[in-house]
Structure 1
Amino acid sequence: MKFLLLSILCGYVTADLTCPPGKVLNPCGDLCQVTCKDVKTNNVPKACPKTCNPPACVCPDGQALIRGQCVAYDDCRRLPPEDE
């Protein structure tokens, strides 16, 4: 129900979007996608605009994006700086 309400509020239809394994659908897009760089600089939770973009597949809560993959926050903290 929450997903449907967000879709209606954002004004987007998401019926055709299927996320790959390890990612979840966010009806308001990926503006707030947390990256490993955000985790390592303590920018979590990330400040997000109060607008919606088209729906997108993002990392689930507690995971951050690096090189197109979702990893746990703890894994981000162990990465060397060049891998951010």
Structure 2
Amino acid sequence: MYTCKDSINLLLDYLDGELSPEDAQHLKEHLQGCAPCVDFLRTYRATPGLCKKALAHRMPQEMSSKLTEFLRSKIKSAS
């Protein structure tokens, strides 16, 4: 049986269909009994769509300018 850490490390291969049948079965068994890993998988699957939505919106110019000014001041004060 896989641990949560094992399961999380295998998620990308699982979603890409690249796990061996044995590993996929062990992962599915773990997911059946582990609500936190199921939640993590759900979030992991949703991330690309959320990123696309976020990138589809453009930051208002005034906010972009203020953010740039703020970050530059922080970089200068850290030097």
TM-score range, shorter chain: under 0.3
Q: Give the number of the structure whose residues are more often helix, by fraction.
A: 2
Q: Name which structure has the greater RCO, CA cutoff 8 Å, separation 6+.
A: 1
